[in-house]
């Protein structure tokens, strides 16, 4: 009897240990011409501080046993509320001098997803994407319809002016996409092995004609499947759409036995790079391995891996 009791305790202990080890989270704040010599020390410090705040928030939630969905939403909200990134508050201007957001989220256990594009008054577009996933019969809402839905869901509505920053306005005036691309994204795996990925952006400076980027498109900017991985992208959206980038990575794991590193490297450097696209992506696979890949000089990124090691990086290593 005593022997069986000991065995049971050992099994319970090792199960618990495995569960603890599964938690992992990774974020990006955009890829682009991010060079140490072009960024002031104080801006560098602010970016590192904000990435730290965001990743720590998500990690703490996962550690408490909360879902990866909550961790991804809360982490992205912190980045959206900061003027430092091209999402929410710090978004770029379109050609009409207006800010328009794209966002998406996907859950890996049931392949449910939500996405929105072309909204201009939702304070935290990631919460709209999540509400579309959880509280509508649709996956993708755009423009006025998406804003109407957000109002019905009592999401925080703000005037477009709230998103106006001088830094981004100057980029529009000078037709510059400096430090492109500042989109934000997060992928997390929780104690139950559930993977969720989310992405939020203002898109590209000077975008025209209701342009929609990859960040709003499930399979391009965002994808999650518990059997393979979760991915969030940043970069020249048109190329990520044409290569179905996020789903492409998942498919390489699913059908071709790639590991996450190799799959992301193939998509970023071969599939996207070879047709002229640039940018990067972050991902977590079903075994909680993290990968971050980009073909630009830098990508704002941070992670806490399954060994509880935290890293915050801005430039090429």
Q: Is the distance from CB of 286 to CB of 36 less than 8 angstroms?
A: no
Interface mask toward ligand ASP for 135-174; x: CB under 6 A: ----------------------------------------
Q: Is 100 in the site for ligand ASP (CB under 6 A)?
A: no
Should residue 121 be labelled a site residue for ligand ASP when binding is judged by CB under 6 A?
Answer: no
Dig out the tokens for 167 from the structure: 């830094």
- Binding status of residue 215 toward ligand ASP by CB under 6 A: yes
Binding mask 232-271 for ligand ASP (x = CB under 6 A): --xx-x----------------------------------
Contact 74, 110 (CB under 8 A): no
Question: Closest approach of Cβ 304 to ligand ASP, in Å?
Answer: 23
Bond into 181 cis (ω within 30): yes
* Collapsed DSSP state (helix, strand, coil) of residue 80: helix
* Contact partners, residue 186, CB within 8 Å, separation at least 6: 25, 26, 27, 28, 54, 58, 71, 72, 75, 76, 79, 197, 198, 232, 282
Instruction: Supply the minimum distance, in Å, between the C-beta of residue 240 and ligand ASP.
Output: 6
- Residue 104 lies near ligand ASP (rule: CB under 6 A): no
Q: Which is nearer to ligand ASP, 188 or 204 (CB)?
A: 204
Q: Which of 108, 118, 203, 283 binds ligand ASP (CB under 6 A)?
A: 203
**Of 75, 119, 183, 228, which residue is the catalytic one?**
183
- The binder of ligand ASP chosen from 91, 117, 124, 201 (CB under 6 A): 201
Pseudo-torsion of CA 87, 93, 220, 315, nearest 10°?
A: -60
Query: Closer CB to ligand ASP, residue 62 or residue 88?
Result: 88
Is position 183 annotated as part of the catalytic site? yes
By CB under 6 A, residue 300 contacts ligand ASP: no
Which residues in the 3-32 window bind ligand ASP by CB under 6 A? 30
Element (H, E) at 294: strand 290-294
Asked if 240 contacts 272 with a C-beta cutoff of 8 angstroms, the reply is yes
Of 291 and 296, which CB lies nearer to ligand ASP in the complex structure? 296
Which of 47, 204, 231, 252 touches ligand ASP (CB under 6 A)?
Answer: 204
Is residue 205 within the footprint of ligand ASP (CB under 6 A)?
Answer: no
Is residue 198 at the binding interface for ligand ASP, with CB under 6 A as the rule?
no
Among 127, 183, 251, 296, binds ligand ASP (CB under 6 A): 183
Residue 315 β-bridge partners: 298
Inter-axis angle of helices 125-135 and 143-152, nearest 10: 80
Q: Label residue 276 exposed, middle or buried (CB < 10 Å: 0-12, 13-18, 19+).
A: exposed
CA distance 150 to 48: 32
Residue numbers at the binding site for ligand ASP (CB under 6 A): 30, 86, 181-183, 201, 203-204, 213-215, 234-235, 237
């Amino acid at each position: 009897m005593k022997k069986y009791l000991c065995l049971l305790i050992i099994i319970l202990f090792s199960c618990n240990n495995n569960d603890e080890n599964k938690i992992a989270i990774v974020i990006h704040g955009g890829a682009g011409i991010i060079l140490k010599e072009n960024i002031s020390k104080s801006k560098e410090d602010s970016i590192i501080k904000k990435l730290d705040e965001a990743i720590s928030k998500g990690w703490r939630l996962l550690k408490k046993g909360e879902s990866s969905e909550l961790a991804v939403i809360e982490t992205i909200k912190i980045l959206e509320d900061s003027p430092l990134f091209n999402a929410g508050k710090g978004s770029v201007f379109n050609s009409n001098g207006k800010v328009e957001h794209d966002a998406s989220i996907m859950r890996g256990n049931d392949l449910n997803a939500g996405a929105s594009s072309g909204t201009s008054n939702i304070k935290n577009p990631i919460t709209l994407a999540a509400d579309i996933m959880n509280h509508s019969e649709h996956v993708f809402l755009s423009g006025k319809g998406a804003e109407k839905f957000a109002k019905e869901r009592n999401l925080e509505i703000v005037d477009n002016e709230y998103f106006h920053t001088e830094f981004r306005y100057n980029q529009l005036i000078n037709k510059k996409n400096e430090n492109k691309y500042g989109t934000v994204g997060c992928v997390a795996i929780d104690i139950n092995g559930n993977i969720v990925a989310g992405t939020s952006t203002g898109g590209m400076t000077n975008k025209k004609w209701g342009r929609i980027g990859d960040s709003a498109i499930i399979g391009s900017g965002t994808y999650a499947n518990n059997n393979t991985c979760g991915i969030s992208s940043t970069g020249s959206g048109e190329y990520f759409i044409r290569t179905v980038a996020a789903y492409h990575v998942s498919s390489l794991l699913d059908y071709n036995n790639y590991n996450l590193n190799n799959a992301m490297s193939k998509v970023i450097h071969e599939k996207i790079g070879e047709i002229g696209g640039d940018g990067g992506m972050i991902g977590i696979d079903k075994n909680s391995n993290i990968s971050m890949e980009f073909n630009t000089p830098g990508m704002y990124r941070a992670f806490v891996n399954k060994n509880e090691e935290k890293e915050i990086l801005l430039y090429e290593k």
